[in-house]
Every structure is written in structure tokens, then in C-alpha cells.
Chains A and B, each alone.
Chain A
Amino acid sequence: MTPFSYARARDTTEAVQLGAQDRAKYLGGGTNLVDLMRETVERPAALVDVTGLSSLIAESDDGGLLIGAAAKNAAVAEHHAVRRRYPMLAQAILAGASAQIRNMATVGGNILQRTRCTYFYDDGSRCNKRAPGEGCDALDGFNRIHAVLGASSACVATHPSDMCVALAALDATVHLQGPSGVRIVPLKDFHTLPGAHPEIETVLQAGELITAVALPPPSVKARSAYRKVRDRASYAFALVSIAAVLEIEEGAVKDVRLALGGVAAKPWRASKAEAALRGGPATEQAFLAAAEAELADAAPLHENGFKVELAKRTMVAVLSGLAGDVGPAGDLA
């Protein structure tokens, strides 16, 4: 680990002031950043500890929920309002990492966690995300876990978060504060696709800090579920995951929101599938057609072609489960 200074921010204003230092990074629970610093992938000169900032989880005036960015992943999944009104978010968080890591990791840090691409971690390999312009050894390497949607010739890494996939389907927004003030960004627009610049992963500007995540009020008639497919039953990153919110009225899809994990550099909001489904029949045939539409542009690499079929099947299974008489959404996890 290269040397760095450490300071604990007492409030958001102080955090943003400290965050303006040269090569400063905000530090949450450290479960990703400390690991990357130890691997010297990350070399900040200053760490600004923001774990003492707001971790409050409270109902907002519009009937939604506001979650302080310093809230621990475990605290969000355990919170009664989340379990009762946004069970899919609790499912997604509980599907990720281990109990120990969920006790440490913050909501802000989860959103900003970096890819688990092995070539990104290994400084003996070429990686455009770690060293822009160097090349990408994943393109012709072991790329079973890599992206099938939205990738580029510069980078095929995926975003590893489960929580963010649920947040994308829930139309969550991210509250930011930086040197030039505050702003709110939809979660689905927060992460960026690699293009020619995979080192840029979000719309965050220099020194900007995530202060909170806001959830709009849930539809009382909609059902939701998060399903994660992985190599082992627990404590593994997703190969493919699906977050779905489905509202059916008289056999037709009144509203649907879908997001995919494990397939792209960002939580992938499946807008093509949503458009194909909205207003149409809630049948397995329609679900399959929607999945086909979403994955039509998939560009698999030599080892990850299975993800295309897996994503389609998982999407159909989750939507069919929500449409059928299967009891509460929790039964689907």
C-alpha cells in the first residue's frame, strides 16, 4: 500500500472540503477500496473517512425512502421499511457478499465498488481501466465472467453490485454533493458504459460525494423479485441477475421495470424488454419475446456466450413467477 493521509469527516461540508485535496478518495467500509489499495490498483494520497456521515434510513415526504450513504448494507437489508415495502432491495443486498462484509460496506461504497475483472486486479496484465491506453487482456483471455451488453473493444468488465441492480429497477436516485453544490442523478444513469474510456465509470465529478439514495414510493399493486444466478449458492458474484417489478391488471402488463446484473459495466436497465411488455399480455410467450428483444444486441466473447441464454431464461423465469400465483415475492429468491 502506498502511503496516504487519513482524516475522518465530521459532516458533509467538511468531507467535501477534504475531498478536494489532491488524489483524495472517500472511504466507506473499505471492503473494496482497502483491498484495491493493497493490490496498488488504487493509490490515493488522502483518504476521507465518510462512515460518520448520515446513515439514517427514513421515510421521505413523498412516501418514499431516503437512505443515508453511510448506512451499512446489513442495516438497509434489515430495516423494517425496506423489508416490508422494498423486499426486492433487501433480497438483492442479502444475495451479495457475506454477513461480515455487509456489516462493513456502506451504500455509497457499494454503488462505487469497482469491477471484479481479474485482469483489472492483476498488474501483470494489460487493463485499460487500470492503465488507460494499455490494452485489454480480457478480450482474448479468460472472459467467462465478462460483459455481453454495452461493452467496447477497450473494456469488457462488469459492475459487480447486486444492490445497484435492484436500485435501477426501483427507479432510485443518487444524491450528490460536491464543490459546486448538490444534484440528484437517477441510479440508472449514474454508471457509464466503457466506450473508449473505461477508466471513467460514473458521472461523478471531481470531489463529488454520494450523500444518499432515494427510493420513490412503491406501487402497492406491483410484485417484485431479485434472482441471482452464480457458480455457488452463496458468497459469489452474479453471472447473471435479474431485478423485476411487475404490475398486472386484467391479464395485461400495466407496469414493468427490469434490470440485469452481471452482464454489463453498469446495472443494465432492460428498457427494450420493458417497452415490448408494457400494455401487452402477461404470458410466458410475451416474456420470452421481451427477453429476446433485450438480448438481441448481445455481443458475447469466446467464453461467456452462455450468459445470453442464461439472462433470457432467468428473465422469463422471474417474470413468470411474478405473474403466476406464487405467493409473496420473497418466495422467489
Chain B
Amino acid sequence: MPIRINGTEAELPADPRVSLLDLLRETLNLPGTKKGCNQGACGACTVLVDGERILSCLALAVQYEGRDVVTIEGLTGEGGLHPLQKAFIEHDGLQCGYCTPGQICSALGLFAEVARGAPSGVTADLSAETVVLTHDELRERMSGNLCRCGAHNGIVAAIAETYAAGRAA
């Protein structure tokens, strides 16, 4: 059983040492997902697997047989930007842009977690069924994605605005 990347089936590598990140970048010509630290500390390699955010640098590709992977290249169809991508541009949520694909995939995973009421490390009432995505909640939930340029305020603003727009829709 192969692996699905942005809706297209791909073969798994014969060598089990190949990470999901290297499969994307080196074999499938999908360099949007970035290799930052390659040790699970920075979040630049974040992708969505079956809708959940994970670190593709620490994932052996063979472990993800049959799974559905979405990368920054797969967020929209031909051309066009995802609303969150537009918000990152509008809010200056980047300078060099290297962490941006990971930030965006991470935020989309965050939206799904919030939608189903998953708590975070700053959630005061763990028994609450719903999550209010406050500034502190958003920052805590995005703490796995570092930005060396220091664009965090723009990043938080872009995510908050996109989340609010999605809620209003």
C-alpha cells in the first residue's frame, strides 16, 4: 500500500532510513516543507497526516504507509492561496519565510484541535467541552514552531484573524 501525498499516491522508499521529510523534498520534488533543525526542535517540517500535525523530520516514511499526507503545496488546488497564506502576507507573518510552511500547516492542525475541544497546557478548565482560542492559548499551541526572524507577533495575528473569519463564516 503506497502513501498519499496531497491526494496523489506515491511509492514508499525501499530504505527505511528515509524520513518523510526527505521523501517529500528529495524524491517527490515537494521542497515547500522545510528542513530546519532535523531533530524535532523547530517545527519547520510540520505537515498534516490524516489532518493531524506532525514533524516529518522525525517520521520514518515507511511508518506512514497508507496514510494521507498534506503539505504546504497541497493546501489549495491549482494556483491561488489559502486564506491563512494570504493572512501571513497581510500581517507580515514572515521575513525570510523558511519557517512559514511549517507555521501554516501547524496552524491548520491547531484549528482542527480547537474545533474538537482539545485542551492545551494553558487551558484552565480541562473538563471544558469547548476551547476559547485566546491570545495565550494560541501562543501556547504554536510553541512548537520557532521563527528565528522574530515574526511571531505577525504570525499570531494572521492565525487569530483567519480563525476568527472561519468561525464567522
Contact = CB atoms under 8 A, between A and B. Distances in A.
A83 B126 contact: yes
A99 interface: yes
B47 to A, nearest CB: 9
A60 interface: no
Contacts, number: 109
A24 interface: no
Interface in B55-108: 55, 58-60, 62-63, 65, 106
B123 interface: yes
The DSSP consensus for interface residues of chain B is loop
Interface string B6-21: 0000000001110100
Interface stretch (B27-35, B38-46, B148-156, B157-165): B38-46
A143 interface: no
A41 B163 CA distance: 42
Interface stretch (A30-38, A204-212, A273-281, A300-308): A30-38
B130 interface: no
B16 A234 contact: no
Nearest to A105: B58
Contact of B106 (A51, A95, A100, A235): A100
A115 to B, nearest CB: 15
Given A31-B58, A38-B38, A104-B58, A330 B53 contact: no
A30 B110 CA distance: 21
A101 interface: yes
A83 B118 CA distance: 10
A196 interface: no
B16 A6 contact: yes
B140 A5 contact: no
B144 A101 contact: yes
A95 B123 CA distance: 11
Contacts of B52: 74, 103
A27 B58 contact: no
Nearest to A121: B39
B118 A330 contact: no
Nearest to B116: A78
Interface in A222-247: 233-235
Contacts of B122: 333
A83 B144 contact: no
Interface of A: 1, 3-6, 8, 27, 29-31, 34-35, 38, 47, 49, 51, 74, 77-78, 83-84, 87, 90-91, 94-95, 97-101, 103-104, 233-235, 328, 330-331, 333
22 contacts: A6-B60, A27-B63, A31-B40, A34-B60, A35-B58, A83-B126, A91-B121, A99-B53, A99-B110, A99-B113, A99-B144, A100-B43, A100-B106, A100-B144, A101-B40, A101-B58, A103-B52, A103-B53, A103-B54, A104-B54, A233-B140, A234-B139
Given A98-B145, A99-B106, 15 more contacts: A8-B65, A35-B39, A47-B16, A78-B116, A84-B127, A87-B126, A90-B126, A99-B53, A100-B109, A101-B58, A103-B53, A103-B109, A104-B55, A330-B125, A333-B122
